């Protein structure tokens, strides 16, 4: 589930990739081991070696070189499958011009590279699984925090609604208190008025006994007013008690409101943490995609190595058909011209970055024999092949060393006067020495 949510790769796709990698590695290791065993058991004395040029499969660069050993060949079946057949051949002593092709050391290099690539693929797969697990745990943690934040938000909203209801109730009670206070003031005025009237009546009673009826009526009125005042006082006492209770509730609500403010601040902090976690999730997703791309790249390199191994075998099988080398000066000159023409052509193709077919066919009129491979030439491989082709000619080696020594002497002469923008002579010397070591030559320069 985590792989589908973040990287878009299901567990079934991962299993298919693992199975495919395991199959490819097993096939490659089996082929390399078989070739190594045959090379160590059937190599006879008296074998000679020639340069071997290897071509890679479509969409891969080609590499060419020389090495020795037994000679494997690839036989094409009608159903498209390949199997490896080793046919070692001895040199016929009666034919001095006959040559034999040995197995290139690149087979062992390819096997070592395949092992390194397999280890790197396993490491990348383990890193990808660790990243996916951490990603899943972060997602679960974030989901739990989202649920907790939602519950806290709902509780805060309910508390705010209760605070608003309490405030409305307090406002209503305060309005009633104001009304009762106004009525008390009116009753106080009425009581003062009645008291004044009673005083005047008593004074009048002293003056005249005829006012008894009016005095009785006023007494009853006073009693009624006293009763009204008592009822109003009781009502005021009850309202005052309610006001005190409302004040206590208001204080409690204000305290709860302070706690809600604290909770709101905590919610803001949680929101910031949530944003940080989401950014971390995006970074983890990006790293996961990067690891997946590296895994795909490693898989492509592994496939390229397998194709290179197969093309080495095909190239050696084709070179086995070459049984003679030029012996006369005329034949050597013709071979030199062909080598120069081939090298110039490869320079042109490499400069244009063109992919050309490097497969071998018995007849170009029928190319549907199952052999199809392409490569892209470069200057280094082209000149290395030409050097290896003529490395056995002493005259060529002398001219080769004299030409390179001239460039070194020319630059050293300019260093004594004004080097300008030219390279230092020591740099050219090191460059030439490094190239000679790559071509398995031990020339020295002054």
pLDDT digits (tens, 9 = 90+) for 383-401: 888 888 888 888 888 888 9
Residue 63 pLDDT grade (very low, low, confident, very high; cuts 50, 70, 90): very low
Counting other chains too, the contacts that 295-298 makes at CB distance below 8 Å and 24 or more residues apart are 295/17, 295/121, 295/124, 295/125, 295/128, 298/117, 298/120, 298/121, 298/124
Residue 125 lies in a domain: no
- The number of folded domains in the chain is 1
DSSP string, 208-250: -GGGHHHHHHHHHHHHHHHHHHHHHHHHHHHHHHHHHHHHHHH
Q: pLDDT class for 429, splitting at 50, 70, 90?
A: very high
Cβ 349 vs Cβ 365: under 8 Å? no
Element (H, E) at 375: strand 374-375
Q: Domain limits at 169?
A: 146-281
- C-alpha distance across the termini of the chain, in Å: 68
Query: Is 239 among the domain residues?
Result: yes
Does residue 270 carry a pLDDT above 50?
A: yes
Within-domain flag for 217: yes
Q: What is the 3-state secondary structure (H, E, C) of 51-79?
A: CEECCCCCCCCCCEECCCCCCEEEEECCC
- Region 339-365 average pLDDT: 78
The predicted structure's pLDDT at residue 189? 81
Q: How far apart are CA 338 and CA 241, in angstroms?
A: 119
How far apart CA 123 and CA 119 sit, in angstroms, is 6
- Examine residue 158 and state whether it is found in any structural domain, yes or no: yes
Residue-wise pLDDT tens digits, 293-303? 877 877 776 67
H or E, element range at 128: helix 106-207
Residue 129 falls inside a structural domain: no
Within-domain flag for 250: yes
Beta strands (DSSP E) in 240-373 are 356-357
Distances (CA, A) of 398 to 115, 324, 402, 446: 41, 25, 6, 14
Residue 208 tokens read as: 């005249």
180, part of any domain: yes
Is residue 85 situated within a structural domain?
Answer: no
Residue 246 has pLDDT above 60, yes or no: yes
- Write the CA distances from 29 to 80, 113, 118, 291, 298, integer angstroms: 21, 11, 11, 25, 17
Residue 277's domain is classified under what CATH number?
1.10.287.2610
Parallel, antiparallel, or unpaired: how do β-strands 374-375 and 356-357 relate?
A: antiparallel
């Amino acid at each position: 589930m985590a792989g589908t949510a973040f990287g878009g790769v299901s567990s079934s796709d991962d299993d298919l990739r693992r199975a495919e990698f395991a199959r490819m590695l097993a096939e490659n290791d089996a082929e390399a081991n078989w070739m190594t065993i045959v090379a160590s058991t059937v190599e006879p004395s008296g074998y000679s070696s020639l340069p071997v040029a290897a071509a890679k499969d479509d969409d891969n660069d080609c590499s060419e070189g020389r090495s020795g050993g037994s000679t494997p060949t690839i036989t094409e079946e009608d159903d498209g499958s390949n199997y490896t057949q080793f046919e070692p051949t001895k040199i016929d002593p009666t034919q001095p011009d006959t040559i034999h092709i040995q197995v290139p050391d690149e087979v062992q290099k390819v096997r070592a590279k395949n092992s390194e690539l397999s280890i790197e693929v396993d490491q990348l797969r383990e890193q990808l699984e660790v990243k996916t697990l951490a990603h899943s745990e972060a997602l679960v943690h974030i989901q739990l925090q989202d649920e907790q934040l939602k519950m806290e938000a709902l509780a805060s909203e309910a508390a705010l609604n209760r605070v608003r209801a309490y405030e409305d109730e307090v406002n209503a009670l305060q309005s009633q208190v104001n009304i009762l206070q106004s009525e008390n003031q009116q009753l106080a005025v009425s009581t003062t008025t009645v008291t004044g009237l009673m005083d005047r009546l008593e004074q009048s009673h002293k003056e005249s006994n005829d006012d008894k009826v009016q005095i009785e009526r006023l007494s009853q009125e006073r009693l009624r007013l006293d009763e009204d005042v008592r009822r109003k006082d009781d009502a005021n006492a009850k309202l005052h008690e309610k006001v005190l209770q409302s004040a206590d509730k208001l204080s409690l609500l204000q305290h709860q409101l302070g706690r809600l403010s604290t909770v709101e601040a905590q919610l803001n902090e949680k929101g910031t943490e949530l944003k940080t976690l989401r950014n971390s999730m995006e970074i983890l997703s990006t790293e996961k995609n990067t690891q997946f791309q590296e895994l795909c790249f490693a898989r492509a390199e592994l496939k390229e190595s397998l194709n290179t191994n197969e093309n080495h075998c095909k190239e050696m099988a084709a070179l086995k058909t070459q049984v003679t080398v030029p012996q006369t000066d005329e034949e050597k000159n013709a071979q030199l011209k062909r080598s120069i023409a081939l090298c110039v052509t490869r320079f042109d193709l490499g400069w244009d970055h063109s992919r050309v077919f490097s497969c071998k066919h018995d007849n170009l009129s029928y190319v549907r024999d199952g052999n199809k491979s392409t490569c892209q030439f470069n200057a280094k491989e082209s000149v290395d092949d030409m050097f290896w082709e003529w490395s056995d000619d002493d005259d060529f080696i002398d001219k080769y060393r004299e030409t390179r020594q001239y460039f070194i002497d020319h630059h050293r002469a300019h260093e004594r006067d004004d080097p300008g923008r030219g390279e230092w002579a020591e740099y050219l010397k090191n460059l030439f020495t490094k190239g000679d070591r790559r071509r398995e030559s031990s020339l020295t320069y002054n």
